[in-house]
Amino acid sequence: MRALGVLISGRGSNLQALITASEAPDYPARIALVIANRADAGGLQLAAAAGLPTLVIRHQDHADRASFDAALDAALRSAGVDLVCLAGFMRLLTPGFVAAWRDRLINIHPSLLPSFKGTDGPAQAVAAGVRIAGCTVHMVRAEMDAGPILVQAAVPVRPDDTEATLAARILTAEHIALPRAVALVASGRITIAGEQVHYHDAEAAAAASVFLA
């Protein structure tokens, strides 16, 4: 059983997906701590309702990114966390933090990476006229929206889609992909060698791809 730390900045819908998944007796991770960098993050109420420990570490209270990340690191280690998930955490982490948690730091991004990096993946997808969009769960590296890809979920882009409608469809896919990726890593059915993901069985490999109509 892996101890999971979840970092959030907003409403916490992906956190709720992890909470729901972790309620299953055979889920291989338990949420040990939820940290928000904003005191008004809606996900804090979701965590509290589920009886989970929460902590607010405001980035504004720290002189620089390094001291903020040091506070995050200390809190996670104090809680016994050994796997960290960024679930709508809207802060870039320092290379030092990323290195300290290498291959134990998971992020979800609302595009099929390596396409459409940045904060506006759905808008980029609509503007580009692609027919397939989706989300990517990946191990974090120092470069933004980069790292070994664990799970990807694809959704159709409809002719009348706006950024908002496509983002909502992608979010539904995120709620499937993120708990699945965390489970694959936490159960040891995925390992990382260099920048390559290795799936230990055919079922794990199949779970890495999600297609929603």
Give the tokens for residue 167.
Answer: 């983002």
Alpha helices of the chain — where are they, by DSSP H? 13-22, 43-49, 65-78, 95-100, 121-128, 163-186, 202-207
Q: How would you class 25 by CB atoms within 10 Å of its CB: exposed for 0-12, middle for 13-18, buried for 19 or more?
A: exposed
Residue type, 148: P
> Pairing between strand 149-156 and 132-139?
antiparallel
Q: How would you class 165 by CB atoms within 10 Å of its CB: exposed for 0-12, middle for 13-18, buried for 19 or more?
A: middle
Catalytic residue numbers, as ranges = 109
CA-to-CA distance for 17 and 56, rounded, in angstroms?
20
Q: How would you class 119 by CB atoms within 10 Å of its CB: exposed for 0-12, middle for 13-18, buried for 19 or more?
A: exposed
CA-to-CA distance for 201 and 146, rounded, in angstroms?
25
